[in-house]
A = this chain, B = another copy of it.
Amino acid sequence: MNLPSKITICEVGLRDGMQNEPRLFTTEEKVSIANRLIDAGFKVIELGSFMSPKAVPQMANTDEVYRALGKVDGVELRALVANKKGVERAIECGCKKVKLNVSASKAHNLANINMTPEESVSKFKESVELALVNSLEISGSISMPFGSPWEGEIKLEEVEDIVEAYLSLGIEEISLSDASGMAIPNQVYSMCTSMREKYPQVKWWLHFHNTRGLAVANILSAMQAGITNFDSSLAGLGGCPFVPGAAGNVSTEDVVHMLDEMGIETGIDLERTIAIGKEIQEMVEGGTDSYILKAGRSKDLVR
């Protein structure tokens, strides 16, 4: 089994997790969680997003969180932005890394904004320029490349067109985000293999939701295709935007536990992460989807 020796995890609970929870977390709570994540060894954290506070009230205090946390050496604190306004907010509060996002669903894009996904990306030009002039790093995300609730299958060529649109803006760090939980292991292996071959200059991230229980198997498949960067969420915080009540982001504890047991280095302290996850789980309603928080590590079972 061909596997990488080292994996980087981006903890997205503070953004994609909390964004899907009814509870609003205060700046103090978010900063405390972020600091504990940093102590537990996380080197990449998605701290929030700069969207309209009306549309995403859970992320309204992202600017404050960045200001309160300040610069942390050796840790990338990234945020999601939708446009130039978001980049402006990022610059103002000291955020040094932003991520753009576009849906791979042509039907979705055409219905909402009368643009194809590539046209949407080309509109990001002013955001990219503003970020680069201000020494912000900028990356791009493609949601639902493995399937969309609008048209079902997304063709590989359609995803490639979006990758090329990002590349033409100078963005070479790209995330493939299965927000609808439709990715299937052999499809993930095949798409990741093909993307890495065709675009060797790209730093890839994979973001899986556990909607249909396949997130961990998809991570395993992506690792076999050479992917070494994955998003995951504390306690499995979050949900599915398309299926109310379904599971959300894959749980960080579950992913780190698997990698630890497989002998793959993450630099993350699992025990500390479990402790943070347990506290978060008590803070949100309706429980979350994390096996390790329920069952403990295998080694804890041994008498």
- A294 and B217 in contact, given A262-B185, A302-B150 (Cβ under 8 angstroms): no
B298 with A221: CB separation less than 8 A: no
Task: Say how far A97's CB is from chain B's closest CB, in angstroms.
Answer: 30
Which residue of B3, B184, B213, B298 is within 8 Å of A212 (Cβ)?
B298
> Contact between A224 and B189 (Cβ–Cβ < 8 Å)?
no
Contacts A210-B291, A295-B211 given; indicate if A1 touches B189 (C-beta within 8 A).
yes
Q: Establish whether residues B292 and A212, one from each chain, have CB atoms under 8 Å apart when the complex forms.
A: yes
A268 CB to nearest B CB, Å: 17
| CB–CB B212/A299 < 8 A | no
| Contact residues in B for A210 (Cβ distance below 8 Å) | 291
B-binding segment of A39-47, A53-61, A245-253: A245-253
Q: How far is the CA of A184 from the CA of B258 in the complex (A)?
A: 7
Contact partners of A290 in chain B: CB under 8 A = 213
A243 in contact with B151 (CB, 8 Å): no
B217→A303 contact, CB < 8 A: no
List A residues 75-115 near B (Cβ within 8 Å).
none
Report the separation of the CA atoms of residues A269 and B210 in the bound assembly, to the nearest whole angstrom. 23
Contact with B along A264-303 (1 / 0, CB 8 A): 0000000000000000000000000011101111110111
The answer to whether B303 and A186 touch across the interface, beta carbons within 8 angstroms, is: no
* A254-B213 CB under 8 A given contacts A3-B186, A294-B247: yes
CB pair B220–A1 under 8 Å, yes or no, is no
